[in-house]
Structure 1
């Protein structure tokens, strides 16, 4: 398998968490959220190195976490941008020359399991771009600017997109450079691929792989961790 690097964006300021600074430094069951996320990629034999883009004021705290937990695969902690897209673009410049593939994963998704990550990477290897996603549980409405329903898209063809997201390094670098040159912005890296016409493969994910953005998410994550602990004991 080609050498894979993980980019873990960790610049998220927890405005919906009560403005408590970087939400990844908040504790989940007594351990910083970021530790859970990094632990999975550190343990994965398919991942060669890790780059973490984050806010400049959080670099010392993340350096301390990396040292305290012995995360040897962390190659660089770089200053992120004002938006996630810029943070990933900066992280790409810090990758080692031998890296051929890149997996991008939200730092705020700490419940991804090692088995899920390995299975995803093995299936994604044959693709230029692949993302983890799950079927929607709720009905979705498209609305106009006044808040009136315009249409109800068929739910069976819709997916809630997660991370990890997997890419050929040269292609990911290419679409980021094009986006910067043309002032194009997207909410995730897969959308940049779509914008340039590259096919993106959907690989089934898990509903437990939630993104922690609100206090309610944190409570739910604690429940999931407790149930996993009980199941494994």
Structure 2
């Protein structure tokens, strides 16, 4: 897997079209962290890599029609596309915008601005053949399964359970085929909440690799102070 010079060509799809409902209606990509937009920090982790040849950011339709100047000027490898009604639809549109001649496609949440470069590398190293990879952390909490009335019905053992993060990386043909299969399945985009599920549903193999505590997703207002702390302490939580 690689280009003519032996180096793999990597594309990155960044879904950023959510409305930030759990953030009080504020779109997370435009919030600032350490004085700059979260999305700018998120993209930097990939733009610093010479093997990344293109990055497609899926924004809400109104943002995509009039993206901020700093985003357009950030790097010529960055393109913008209007996202869809679900995360999977936004990922599909971003992937469709990426060049056809890619070896690996990474998908990364716009709201994970602190991913360490070594986590990106671990994901890329694990992508091979027909196997994808997902960054994450082994579960340390006890999980409870509840019914529709929030009554506990089961306590699954946490052995083998991981908290999934991003990036999630896949051989480009495998992800494209999985997204095509998803598009043909009515209601599939709403049922599958991450890209590993999309690929697994299409018969692909995905493995977990170690992520990082600092690779948190800024989802609720309470996440911002912790993200600010990690931003100010770059060696912590790696």
State the match for 2:96 in structure 1: 93
Q: CA deviation at 1:79?
A: 0.7
Contact residue 43 and residue 114 of structure 1 kept, 8 A: no
Unaligned 5+ runs, structure 2: 1-6
State the match for 1:156 in structure 2: 159
Deviation sequence 1:59-79 (CA, Å, 0-9, x none): 2564512244x32321x2111
Q: 1:133 to 1:229 in 2, by over 3 A?
A: closer
Give secondary structure in 2 for the equivalent of 1:103. strand
Q: CA deviation at 1:196?
A: 2.3
Q: 1:123 to 1:203 in 2, by over 3 A?
A: same
Q: CA deviation at 1:2?
A: 2.3
Deviation sequence 1:21-73 (CA, Å, 0-9, x none): x21101112110001001111101221110111112112564512244x3232
Unaligned 5+ runs, structure 1: none
- 1: CA distance between counterparts of 2:174 and 2:61? 28
State the match for 1:78 in structure 2: 81
TM-score by length of 1: 0.91
Contact residue 134 and residue 208 of structure 2 kept, 8 A: yes
Give secondary structure in 2 for the equivalent of 1:215. coil
Q: CA deviation at 1:125?
A: 4.0
Is 1:181 equivalent to 2:181 in the alignment?
A: no
- 1: CA distance between counterparts of 2:136 and 2:32? 26
Contact residue 4 and residue 46 of structure 1 kept, 8 A: yes
Residues matched between the structures, number = 228
The structure 1 segments of at least 4 consecutive aligned residues displaced by more than 4 Å after TM superposition are: none
Higher helix share: 1
TM-score by length of 2: 0.89
Is 1:26 equivalent to 2:31 in the alignment?
A: yes
- 2: CA distance between counterparts of 1:8 and 1:215? 21
Q: CA deviation at 1:227?
A: 1.8
Q: CA RMSD in A?
A: 1.9
- 2: CA distance between counterparts of 1:202 and 1:96? 26
State the match for 1:218 in structure 2: 224
Contact residue 130 and residue 204 of structure 2 kept, 8 A: no
Q: CA deviation at 1:122?
A: 2.3
